């Protein structure tokens, strides 16, 4: 993901206005001077994100404080709606996005402060319901998304401040439960989604005080979960956070004070984790900050003050990380004092060791892994980091130094990567940034590369030059295209740069192409590559003798009876028309016979030989080779190594030689001989003759075949493969022929003749049926 941070700041001439960082945190720029001149358009500005834009409250000096929206650009920053028409302002606040709807409170004289919603358009910005009818206000606050519905606190004259729920319609906005019956209020707050369709919250009744409640969005499912501090006194559940489906929070009892509790949403599963500050004095754990599989927080202990603590949800795993400052407090407390650093499991926090002032610290939850990250104000002075905010792999915060005053800073968790983003108000006065929202923007593709940038002249169309690659910070699917194809000489096939036109070294030794990669969301990246053209021996239409080099060569014989030698390297030899002799030499070579009666010899290396048209002879020689006869009646010799021989069309002779080879006759009446080694022989269509020779051989009849003969089937060594036909041994029609000397297996119109093998010797274990 790619992010930019929106914040309000004062550059000394415009007042507090909207600014935005770049994606790396290395700079910031003004988005828009909403209220022209030096009057601030923002003081404290609530906000929320909707469809990739930030919705917030701002005052342009004309309409008062109203609803605004920004996509991070000047053109995309505008007033969404003047709810209380005129200069007074509706003062939108308490924003929360639920699905594609943003809810908020706003004021206008006829209805007071009530619940509103917007879909990001002026026409879609509407009053949801006048909850407290007339000019009175409901003051909708403490909002939560509960499975697509809005859970919130609202006031009505008949019920007080109670629990409400809304589906975004007037009819679907209703009092969920009058927890403290009558006009007295329960003041529900501190909502936390458990992730199972239920939410925890704090609420007050006359009998139990302020305690922990649970709701599933129905009246019957809204009930007291546990009276932690029994009787009319309150436990004040607060500072809630979720870890592995369990809620952690601070709650108070007379004997233990305000300490760390946990709840799985059941009464029995709601219990204290640890009395951090033993006895009745409170440790007041706050704020709960999730990092990896642990929660970090600040807590107070007599004799230590406030220090950084960590919990894994168990009493044993709840411990002080490090006493930074002896008997005085070393860690700040409250919202914005701790933030997770990406998904590293570490946190940044504001702390002091008594000598360095309050500065930025880093912790992995261990004493040895807790350190002062940067002494921004050297010595005993303090930079007082505040509003620590996690943004992807970075943490932004406000901090002071003598050079810039209080400005926006950023850190990547290293001292070198901890720096001021921008001196918005140049000099030592400071811009006093207020962090507002995080925009998830589309990041353009990066790291466009080509795996190879050379190809030989005379290469055929479709020949691979190299593969294109790029990365995308948002994980978008990427497509490549050529904006300069060197006069039609190259093309792109998926992520492959291929030859598309004639290449001639004597005309040009190189060509330049330009590739553009597109992420489909508006992000592109272009890069030019120089493609070197390899010089090859020039063939003619006559009888040529051509040799390669020690490198990887491409040689074409064209017409005539040619002799082509690859020598060293991984070569591509193409005889084209004529009766040609191709010899690969060392290296892993590709030999293509083309038309005519050709002889192809792979020699050393793992070679691929394709005879093409004509009656060809293919000899793999040494190495693990692939031989394909093509059309015509061909002779294929595997030689040494584990080879694959495919006769393809025509009546072919396939000789595996040494090694464990696979022989497939293809179409035509073929003769297959495995040679030494454990070979697989498959005759294919028509009537073939199969000889396993030495080794434990497999005769494959899984596909189409005709009336084939196995000349040397041996007990305890060879196997007949009939898998995929749904047969068992008892299903086979086995007959003695030729006076009992031979055996035939009948499968419909097909036959398998076992020469010199008697029917009585045939057993089920000699077959593979699965």
Question: DSSP secondary structure string, 728-752?
Answer: -GGG-EEEEETTTTEEEEEETTEEE
46 — pLDDT class (breaks 50, 70, 90): confident
Q: Is the pLDDT of residue 750 over 70?
A: yes
Residue 47 CB: number of other CB atoms within 10 A?
23
* 473 domain residue, yes or no: yes
- The count of structural domains within the chain is 1
pLDDT (0 to 100) of residue 566: 84
Q: Is 411 buried (19+), middle (13-18) or exposed (0-12) by CB count in 10 A?
A: buried
pLDDT, average across residues 297-302: 95
pLDDT (0 to 100) of residue 578: 84
* 498 domain residue, yes or no: yes
Distance between first and last Cα of the chain: 49
pLDDT (0 to 100) of residue 74: 95
Q: Is the pLDDT of residue 44 over 70?
A: no
Q: Among 301-315, 327-341, 634-648, 734-748, where is mean pLDDT lowest?
A: 327-341
Mean per-residue pLDDT over the chain, rounded: 93
* 465 phi and psi angles, rounded to 5 deg: -90, -50
pLDDT (tens digit, 9 = 90+) per residue, 493-503? Answer: 999 999 999 99
pLDDT (0 to 100) of residue 441: 83
* 506 domain residue, yes or no: yes
The Cβ-side half-sphere exposure at 247, using a 13 Å CA radius, reads 31
Q: Is the pLDDT of residue 240 over 80?
A: yes
3-state class (DSSP) for residue 271 = strand
Is residue 138 within 8 A of residue 153, CB to CB? The reply is: no
pLDDT (0 to 100) of residue 560: 78
* 288 domain residue, yes or no: no
pLDDT (0 to 100) of residue 136: 94
pLDDT (0 to 100) of residue 56: 94
pLDDT (tens digit, 9 = 90+) per residue, 524-552? Answer: 999 999 999 988 765 555 567 777 777 78
Answer whether the bond into residue 287 is a cis peptide, omega within 30°.
yes
Q: Assign residue 560 a region: left if phi > 0, alpha if psi is -120 to 50, beta otherwise?
A: left
pLDDT, average across residues 677-683: 95
Token look-up 């792109």 returns: 492
Q: Is the pLDDT of residue 2 over 90?
A: no
* 235 domain residue, yes or no: no
Q: Among 175-189, 320-334, 348-362, where is mean pLDDT lowest?
A: 320-334
pLDDT (0 to 100) of residue 736: 95
Q: Where are the beta strands (DSSP E) in 620-703?
A: 626-628, 635-637, 644-646, 653-655, 662-664, 671-673, 680-682, 689-691, 698-700
* 505 domain residue, yes or no: yes
Percent of the chain scoring above 90 in pLDDT: 81
Domain region containing 498: 446-534
Residue 667 CB: number of other CB atoms within 10 A?
16
pLDDT (tens digit, 9 = 90+) per residue, 566-578? Answer: 888 888 888 888 8
pLDDT (0 to 100) of residue 537: 62
- CATH code (residue 527): 2.60.40.60
pLDDT (0 to 100) of residue 83: 97
The structure tokens listed for 174 are 């209703």
pLDDT (tens digit, 9 = 90+) per residue, 699-728? Answer: 999 988 999 999 999 998 999 999 999 999
pLDDT, average across residues 73-101: 95
pTM: 0.66
The structure tokens listed for 441 are 């923007």
pLDDT, average across residues 302-306: 92
Alpha-carbon distances, residue 185 vs 204, 207, 741 (angstroms):
7, 13, 103
* 231 domain residue, yes or no: no
pLDDT (tens digit, 9 = 90+) per residue, 243-267? Answer: 999 999 999 999 999 999 999 999 9
b/e for 709-743, b at 16 or more Cβ within 10 A?
bbbbbeeeebbbbbeeeeeeeeebeeeeeeeeebb
Cα 182 from Cα 204, distance rounded (Å): 13
The structure tokens listed for 163 are 């629990």
Cα 754 from Cα 196, distance rounded (Å): 68
pLDDT (0 to 100) of residue 458: 84
Alpha-carbon distances, residue 160 vs 104, 142, 181 (angstroms):
20, 15, 9
Is residue 500 within 8 A of residue 485, CB to CB? The reply is: yes
Token look-up 């499991």 returns: 345
pLDDT (0 to 100) of residue 564: 87
pLDDT (0 to 100) of residue 541: 54
Task: Label the pairing between strands 101-108 and 93-98.
Answer: antiparallel
Q: Is the pLDDT of residue 182 over 70?
A: yes
* 478 domain residue, yes or no: yes
């Amino acid at each position: 993901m790619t992010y930019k941070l929106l914040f309000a700041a004062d550059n000394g001439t415009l007042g507090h206005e909207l600014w935005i960082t770049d994606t790396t945190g290395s700079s910031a720029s003004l988005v828009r001077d909403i209220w022209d001149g030096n009057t601030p358009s923002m003081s404290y500005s609530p906000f929320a994100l909707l469809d990739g834009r930030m919705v917030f409250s701002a005052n342009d000096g004309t309409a008062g404080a109203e609803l605004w929206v920004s996509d991070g650009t000047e053109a995309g920053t505008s007033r969404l709606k003047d709810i209380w028409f005129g200069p007074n302002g509706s003062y939108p606040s308490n924003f929360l996005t639920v699905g594609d709807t943003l809810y908020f409170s706003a004021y206008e004289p006829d209805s007071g402060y009530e619940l509103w919603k917007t879909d990001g358009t002026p026409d879609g910005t509407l009053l949801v319901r006048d909850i407290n009818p007339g000019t009175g206000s409901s003051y909708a606050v403490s909002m939560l998304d509960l499975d697509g519905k809005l859970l919130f606190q609202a006031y009505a004259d008949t019920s007080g401040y109670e629990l409400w729920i809304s589906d975004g319609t007037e009819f679907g906005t209703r009092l969920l439960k009058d927890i403290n019956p009558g006009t007295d209020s329960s003041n529900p707050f501190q909502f936390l989604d458990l992730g199972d369709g239920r939410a925890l919250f704090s609420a007050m009744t006359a009998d139990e005080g302020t305690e922990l409640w649970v709701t599933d969005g129905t009246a019957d499912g809204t009930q007291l979960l546990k009276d932690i501090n029994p009787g009319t006194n309150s436990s004040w559940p607060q500072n809630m956070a979720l870890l592995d489906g369990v809620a952690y929070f601070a709650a108070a009892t007379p004997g233990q004070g305000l300490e760390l509790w946990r709840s799985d949403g059941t009464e029995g599963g709601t219990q204290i984790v640890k009395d951090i500050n033993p006895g009745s004095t409170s440790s007041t754990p706050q704020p709960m900050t999730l990092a990896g599989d642990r929660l970090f927080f600040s807590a107070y202990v007599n004799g230590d003050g406030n220090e950084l603590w960590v919990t894994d949800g168990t009493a044993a795993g709840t411990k002080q990380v490090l006493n930074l400052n002896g008997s005085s407090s070393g860690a700040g407390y409250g919202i914005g004092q701790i933030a997770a650093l990406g998904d590293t499991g570490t946190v940044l926090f504001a702390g002091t060791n008594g000598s360095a002032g309050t500065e930025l610290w880093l912790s992995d939850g261990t004493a040895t892994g807790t350190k002062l990250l940067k002494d921004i104000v050297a010595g005993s002075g303090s930079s007082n980091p505040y509003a620590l905010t996690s943004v992807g792999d970075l943490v932004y915060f406000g901090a002071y130094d003598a050079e810039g005053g209080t400005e926006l800073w950023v850190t990547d968790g290293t001292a070198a990567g901890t720096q001021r983003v921008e001196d918005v108000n140049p000099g030592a006065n400071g811009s006093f940034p207020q962090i507002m929202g995080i925009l998830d923007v589309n990041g353009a593709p990066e790291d466009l590369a080509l795996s190879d940038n050379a190809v030989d002249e005379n290469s055929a169309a479709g020949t691979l030059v190299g593969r294109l690659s790029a990365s995308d910070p948002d994980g978008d699917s990427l497509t490549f295209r050529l904006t300069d194809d060197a006069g039609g000489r190259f093309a792109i096939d998926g992520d492959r740069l291929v030859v598309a036109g004639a290449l001639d070294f004597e005309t040009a030794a190189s060509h330049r192409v330009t590739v553009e990669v597109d992420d489909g969301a508006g992000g592109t990246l272009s890069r030019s590559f120089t493609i070197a053209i390899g010089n090859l021996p020039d063939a003619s239409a006559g009888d040529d003798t051509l040799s390669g080099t020690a490198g990887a060569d491409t040689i074409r014989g064209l017409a005539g009876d040619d002799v082509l030698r690859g020598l060293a390297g991984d070569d591509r030899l193409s005889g084209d028309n004529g009766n040609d002799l191709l010899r690969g030499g060392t290296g892993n070579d590709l030999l293509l016979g083309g038309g005519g009666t050709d002889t192809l010899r792979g020699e050393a290396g793992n070679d691929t030989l394709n005879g093409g048209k004509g009656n060809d002879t293919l000899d793999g020689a040494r190495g693990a080779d692939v031989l394909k006869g093509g059309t015509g009646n061909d002779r294929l010799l595997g030689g040494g190594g584990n080879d694959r021989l495919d006769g393809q069309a025509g009546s072919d002779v396939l000789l595996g030689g040494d090694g464990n080879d696979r022989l497939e006759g293809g179409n035509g009446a073929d003769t297959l001989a495995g040679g030494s080694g454990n070979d697989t022989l498959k005759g294919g269509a028509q009537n073939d003759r199969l000889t396993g020779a030495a080794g434990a051989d497999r005769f494959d009849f899984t596909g189409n075949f005709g009336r084939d003969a196995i000349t040397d089937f041996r007990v305890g060594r060879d196997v007949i493969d009939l898998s995929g036909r749904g047969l068992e041994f008892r299903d086979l029609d086995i007959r003695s022929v030729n006076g009992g000397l031979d055996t035939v297996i009948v499968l419909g119109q097909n036959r398998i003749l076992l020469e010199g093998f008697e029917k009585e010797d045939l057993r089920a274990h000699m077959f593979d049926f699965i």
